[in-house]
Structure 1
Amino acid sequence: MKLRTAVVTSLAALAVTACTTTDPYTGETRPNYTGRGVLLGAAAGAALGYLTNTNDSEEGRTNALIGAGIGALAGGAIGNYMDRQEAAMREALSDTGVGVRREGNDLRLIMPGDVTFATNSADIQGQFYGILSDVSTVLNRYPATYVDVVGHADSTGPADYNQTLSENRALSVANYLIAQGVMRDRFYVAGMGERSPIASNDTPSGRQQNRRVEILIRPHTTS
């Protein structure tokens, strides 16, 4: 599939005060946004592209969801909806190696490249299909969200190679989720290459962390 890229600006997170609750699956304390009509803009600056045959703008994706009868969330319903989706996603991904992080009313799934793919390949490893199927089940249960899939690489090897690999890995994940029935027009697919590390590329463990695919799940809202 052809992937078109465009640079977008990172969104600054809006700070709010929220009550906390203990996550039933991890035991960690986290904010609970139920009853708060606040959407935090998660930092999402990236070279972004859309899958072929999807709408090429945020407005296009919004219109596609509305056209499919998926209403926009508003007010306290946003936090409640994402609380329930987060709980379902944490339960589905417990002990899989996939990280689940709450960022305001967004969810970020972090899939380690060495677990998800064969070395230097965009082919999904056989044991990971079941995990992605569980992700698709939750995404289908909560359709009022956008799904941004972004691939990342470490700095080993040529930058052009890493860019292409990150794009192809993101496409592999998105294509599988779509094949499981997740609505195509919800997707935004990108490759960042080696440009957005989360750890040092000077150590093996750091490079391992940088090889990843992230899925950002954002609520479909009225604003």
Structure 2
Amino acid sequence: MNKWIALGAAVVVATGCQTIDPYTGEQKASNTTVGAGIGAATGAVLGAMTSSKGDRNKGILTGALVGGAVGGGVGYYMDQQEALLRQELAGSGVQVQRNGDEIRLVMPGNITFPTNSHDLNSSFMPVLDSVAKVLTKFDQTQLMVDGFTDSQGSFEYNQQLSERRASSVAGYLRNVGVASQRLQSKGWGERYPVADNGTAAGRAANRRVELNIKSFDSQ
């Protein structure tokens, strides 16, 4: 019974904090706090499994504290990166989305490339410069650039265009100082639409490049 009390106390301490989302105004647990709670629970279980019977309570508490610190650290790191990205990209047309310890930047096709081209719009390059500034500051992340098209045209053409566009974004980021070993790119063509390809607005939403940012520690 005592071990579950220790586990519960550690998790409550780690997850009890609430924050106000500055973009929605809603109260929620911060990503740092959620990460700490997950880490605490995982650490407590491992502590119980690896401790002798006499030291099990101590092992649970120690594991919870260590796990909470690690989990909270990743969450805090991504929180800070997200905040700076939102600041840098305000008004740019790029969406900043957060899912746990991952950040996704959605770059609409109407601001990134001319029609049927993989040459970056010159007006979009300063936006990528801002992205690169944040990525070089927060260098403990891996980066995947994904390209997508609408369904007009042949499947083969859309696939190749999406690959070239993803490669162009990744190449630009490399050229302005983002370490090449952190970057990968992939084209998905007309797969994984986010809107109805039967409408002009839907097709515009589907033409996009996404930059997925993930902590190395979250692997």
1:100 alignment partner in structure 2: 96
2:105 matches 1:123: no
Cα deviation, residue 123, structure 1: 0.7
Q: Which runs of 5+ in 2 are unaligned?
A: 1-14, 40-68
Supply the distance in 2 between the matched residues of 1:86 and 1:151 (Cα, whole angstroms).
21
Give aligned pairs, total. 173
Amino acid at match of 1:162: N
Deviations 1:28-49 (A, max 9, x none): 546511142449xxxxxxxxxx
RMSD over aligned CA atoms reads: 2.0
Q: Which runs of 5+ in 1 are unaligned?
A: 1-16, 40-72
Matches within 5 A, 1:52-67: none
Cα deviation, residue 164, structure 1: 0.4
Asked whether the equivalents of residues 152 and 213 of structure 1 are also in contact (C-alpha less than 8 Å), the reply is: yes
Cα deviation, residue 93, structure 1: 0.5
2:31 alignment partner in structure 1: 33
Supply the distance in 2 between the matched residues of 1:171 and 1:195 (Cα, whole angstroms).
17
2:175 alignment partner in structure 1: 179
The partner residue of 1:193 within 175, 189, 196 is: 189
Supply the distance in 2 between the matched residues of 1:148 and 1:120 (Cα, whole angstroms).
22
1:147 alignment partner in structure 2: 143
Asked whether the equivalents of residues 102 and 215 of structure 2 are also in contact (C-alpha less than 8 Å), the reply is: yes
2:210 alignment partner in structure 1: 214
Give the TM-score of the pair, scaled to structure 1. 0.73
Supply the distance in 2 between the matched residues of 1:31 and 1:104 (Cα, whole angstroms).
11
Cα deviation, residue 23, structure 1: 4.0
Deviations 1:77-116 (A, max 9, x none): 1000000000000001001100000011100000001111
Q: Percent identity?
A: 44
What is the DSSP-based 3-state SS (H/G/I as helix, E as strand, rest coil) of the residue aligned with 2:144?
strand
Cα deviation, residue 20, structure 1: 5.2
Amino acid at match of 1:147: L
Task: Compare relative contact order (CA 8 Å, sep 6+) and give the higher one, 1 or 2.
Answer: 1
What is the DSSP-based 3-state SS (H/G/I as helix, E as strand, rest coil) of the residue aligned with 1:75?
helix
2:134 matches 1:138: yes
Deviations 1:49-99 (A, max 9, x none): xxxxxxxxxxxxxxxxxxxxxxxx932110000000000000010011000
What is the DSSP-based 3-state SS (H/G/I as helix, E as strand, rest coil) of the residue aligned with 2:104?
strand
Supply the distance in 1 between the matched residues of 2:203 and 2:130 (Cα, whole angstroms).
27
Higher helix share: 2
Supply the distance in 2 between the matched residues of 1:163 and 1:202 (Cα, whole angstroms).
19
2:162 alignment partner in structure 1: 166
2:19 matches 1:21: yes
What is the DSSP-based 3-state SS (H/G/I as helix, E as strand, rest coil) of the residue aligned with 1:34?
helix
Deviations 1:158-214 (A, max 9, x none): 010000000000000000001111010111210000011000000000000000000
Amino acid at match of 1:177: L
The partner residue of 1:74 within 70, 73, 80 is: 70
Cα deviation, residue 27, structure 1: 4.4
Runs of 4+ in 1 over 6 A off after TM superposition: none
The partner residue of 1:111 within 107, 117, 125 is: 107
